[in-house]
Structures are given as structure tokens and as C-alpha cells.
């Protein structure tokens, strides 16, 4: 397991943009179909915007039609952590970065593949590194 990164609210505000802070530290979300990675179709890896932790591979990305980048699985079993989310009158599973605890999005059980997982992730919470 990777060593956890713990920073104060003030430290995160110095590192992140206002939008990144709102989404990753205050459990916000970007508008559907507005994120820069929603339609991106290039080979590479998606890392946590807050700490650089590798989270998702482009090979596992698919168009779920939901308005956010979607993946069938994380890059490894210990890349993300899960937490029950009961906000907005729903019960969902929140996805967080295992290294810095950043809010990334949610996972649903209506995806393709053998595990039927759809990791619905905010573009603002991730950074794409193109594979050359």
C-alpha cells in the first residue's frame, strides 16, 4: 500500500485550482458532457490531479453516454478506495484516491465487462499522461 498524503485544507488550496479543490476536497462534480477527458480517445494513463497517483488506463475507458469519463476498473486494486455516499437522497459508492483521499467520482454496477463496473470520474479530478 502506498503511503498516504495528508495535507490541510489550506495546503490543498495552494496546490489546486478552485474547481479542482471543490471537486476533489468538497465532493463536488463537474457538469455532464463538459469535462476535457469525456471524449478523449488516446493511449495513456489517468492520474490523480492532487497527488499523481495512477488511477485508470485508457484501455479500460469506454463511452457510457453519462457525460463523464468512464472506466471498467482502476489501474490496480489498491489505487482507489470506496465510501458509501448518501448525498442527494441516493445511495451510491464514492470513489476516492487511495493515496490522497481525493474525491474522484462514483462507481456503478451497470458497466460492460465481466464485473459490470462503471467508474464515472470527474475530468477535473484526473490528469491524462499520453503514452508515447
As a whole number of angstroms, the distance between CA 93 and CA 16 comes to 24
The question of whether 120 is a catalytic residue gets the answer: yes
Whether the Cβ atoms of residue 122 and residue 76 lie closer than 8 Å to each other = no
- Round to whole Å and give the CA distance between 129 and 65: 23
**Residue in 51, 97, 100, 120 annotated catalytic:** 120
**CA atoms of 37 and 47, how far apart (whole Å):** 12
The rounded distance, in Å, linking the Cα atoms of 112 and 12 is 35
Question: What Å distances lie between residue 68 and 25, 101, 122, CA to CA?
Answer: 18, 20, 6
Give the catalytic positions in this structure. 120
Amino acid at each position: 500500500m502506498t503511503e498516504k498524503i495528508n495535507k490541510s485544507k489550506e495546503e490543498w488550496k495552494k496546490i489546486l485550482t478552485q474547481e479542482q479543490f471543490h471537486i476533489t476536497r468538497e465532493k463536488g462534480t463537474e457538469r455532464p458532457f463538459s469535462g476535457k477527458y469525456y471524449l478523449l480517445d488516446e493511449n495513456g494513463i489517468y492520474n490523480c490531479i492532487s497527488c499523481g497517483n495512477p488511477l485508470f488506463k485508457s484501455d479500460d475507458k469506454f463511452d457510457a453516454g453519462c457525460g463523464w469519463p468512464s472506466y471498467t476498473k482502476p489501474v490496480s486494486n489498491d489505487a482507489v478506495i470506496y465510501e458509501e455516499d448518501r448525498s442527494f437522497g441516493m445511495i451510491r459508492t464514492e470513489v476516492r484516491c487511495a493515496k490522497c483521499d481525493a474525491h474522484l467520482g462514483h462507481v456503478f454496477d451497470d458497466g460492460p465487462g465481466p464485473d459490470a463496473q462503471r467508474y464515472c470520474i470527474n475530468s477535473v479530478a484526473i490528469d491524462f499522461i499520453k503514452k508515447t
